Amino acid sequence: MIDPAALHDTLAPHVGADVPGAVALVARGPEVHVEAVGHLAAGGPPMPRDAIVRISSMTKPVVAAAALLLVDEGVLTLDGPLDDLLPELADRRVLRAVGAELDDTVPARRPLTLRDVLTSRTGHGFVLAPPGTHPVQRAMDELGVAPGPPGVTPRPGPDEWLRRLGTLPLLSQPGERWHYDTPFDVLGVLLARAAGRSLPALLDERVFGPLGMTDTGFHVPAAALPRFATAYAPDGTVTDDPATGAWSREPDFPSGAGGLVSTADDWFAFSEILRAGRLLRRDTVTRMTSDQLDPDQSDGVFLAVGQGWGFGLAVGPQPGRYGWDGGLGTSWATDHTGTGVLLTQVQWDERGPHPVFGDFWAAW
């Protein structure tokens, strides 16, 4: 049984200067409850149930699901080379060490595969060192291909972005290490090329349209802007204004790593259809939600203790549980007991998420 009063009491103490508003969804069997508290912006209108928020890295499971649809249909294969579709990433060189100069490399042992991309083991992604520590970090910044929060730094179009990324060596051998974020931007470019249409068009046609996810996309249409929450840093600084910010228009680079906005009900539709095995074949969902990493492959930072990584989402630490979070202030998990979704508009910082997330998941 869901206790709506208890859910409200979990969220309400956190609403104020730190978290202007939040929407939480809890589902247990056929019972679903959505609780909206606070405001769309500090001092603004109330937070509605259908508030639109930036889900950032919760984008990854969506593009992973789209990729697996194409695998189920025979358009893509998990383990075939991607050189034909991603020639910019063919014949890779790999840094001898993460701190090496860019020309201190060895050849890649094999081509990249879709499995490498879906499991974040392409050799691209975050470098776990202070910004600018290593030559490869400085080069990523200069080229505009460094991983980071969406909507902050302008990016070129997909083809030019991939061309720039392809001028850099890999951080590790294909399939060897889990590096966060960038592989899913690569996946977005790959899917557009494989499907012969833009990533937004592909997701609209194959995922959002069929599932009725009418408020999910890479930008917010003008008519929906009154339901779009203002984005904040933990100190209360506005980081994205709904009317003029990065999501008020179609992006030059639709980020498969973190570019989507959504609502609690839209996300529940995605979660439920995935759990029921009606978007993908059941055996495909099983692979997607099973740990694909060897014990020593995680970076030990982005994944919590006991968590593994499937195809585009985290697995565990509780048996049968999977989901993922968004660093701009969102979180989702599903297990055999049901589903939980928490959407806020306050981004995480180096300490992690706001305490409201801990309280929500402890109560869930």
What positions carry a catalytic annotation?
Answer: 57
For Cα atoms 230, 236, 238, give the angle at the middle one, nearest 5 degrees. Answer: 40
User: Tokens 């995935």 identify what position?
Assistant: 274
Neighbours of 235 (CB within 10 A): 9
Q: What are phi and psi of 347, to 5 degrees?
A: -70, 160
350's tokens: 């180096």
Q: Which residues contact 338 (CB under 8 A, 6 or more apart)?
A: 26, 27, 28, 29
CA distances from 62 to 50, 91, 241, 279, 282 (A): 19, 29, 25, 11, 16
- CA-based radius of gyration for the chain: 20
DSSP 149: -
Q: How far apart are CA 140 and CA 24, in angstroms?
A: 36
Residues 6+ apart with CB under 8 A from 82: 89, 111, 112, 113, 114, 117, 190
